[in-house]
Amino acid sequence: MQKEEFLHIVMPLKDKLYRLAKRILISHDEAEDAVQEVFLKLWNGKELIKKYNKPEAYAMTMTKNYCLDRLKSKQASNLTIVHQNYKSNNSRTEDQVEAKDGVGMVFEIMKQLPEQQRIILQLRDVEEYEYSEIAAVMEMNETAIRVNLSRARKMVREELIKKYNYGLTKN
């Protein structure tokens, strides 16, 4: 496969991969590193990508697995403290998107969800994937996807209602 052809397939996925990586890793810079790393992996295994009829699902699965591995190794190697410092730095400078009041609150709630539910919610409500596509990316069956999605949405709703009521009683 030539470089042009490869870029033609993979480049449009760049932002999707980034959003997924950021949803999992939370940090903006780490998400970008992850995307870079996944691109390298895809390029090295570019012969494999042809075998998959949907390169997008393949790339998304790879990103998901890579980010989850990163999280695991970070927890294992005690780097979480560094990461927290990093995060607070990050929110001040980088992500002004998150600064918006109510929306920022949902960003915070999202961070509390278990990774799997977070990913599924991201894929469905942000990327608007079909259940079958999500099942392919998550390597799970559709029923499990629906159950997890419902749980994630309800969790977000609960937290929102909690915060909403808190705001009302406080005023």
Partner 1 sequence: MDLQKIEQALDAYFEGTTSLAEEKMLQEYFKSGKVAPHLEVYQDMFAFFATAKSEKTSVTPKISETNKQPFYKYMRKWVAVAALLVVALGVTFFINNNSNKISTAEQIEAELAFEKTKEALNFISYQFNSSAQNLAVIQEFEKSTNKIFK
What residue ranges bind partner 1 (CB under 8 A)?
Answer: 3, 6-7, 14-15, 18-19, 22-23, 31-32, 35-36, 39-40, 43-44, 97, 100, 102-103, 105-107, 110, 122, 124-128, 130, 146-147, 149-150, 153-154, 156-157, 160-161, 164
In the complex, minimum distance from the CB of residue 63 to partner 1, in angstroms, rounded to a whole number: 12
Residues 112 and 18: their CA atoms lie apart, in Å, by: 20
Q: In the complex with partner 1, which residue's Cβ is closer, 80 or 126?
A: 126
Tokens of 75: 């927890």
**Residue 125 near residue 117, CB atoms below 8 Å:** no
In the complex, minimum distance from the CB of residue 91 to partner 1, in angstroms, rounded to a whole number: 14
In the complex, minimum distance from the CB of residue 150 to partner 1, in angstroms, rounded to a whole number: 3
Residues 127 and 91: their CA atoms lie apart, in Å, by: 23
Q: In the complex with partner 1, which residue's Cβ is closer, 102 or 114?
A: 102
Q: In the complex with partner 1, which residue's Cβ is closer, 44 or 53?
A: 44
Which residues make Cβ contacts (< 8 Å) with residue 112, sequence separation at least 6?
Answer: 155, 159
- Geometric angle at alpha carbon 153, from 148 and 156, rounded to 5°: 125
- Please give the sequence-ordered ranges of beta strands (E in DSSP) within the chain, or none if there are none: none
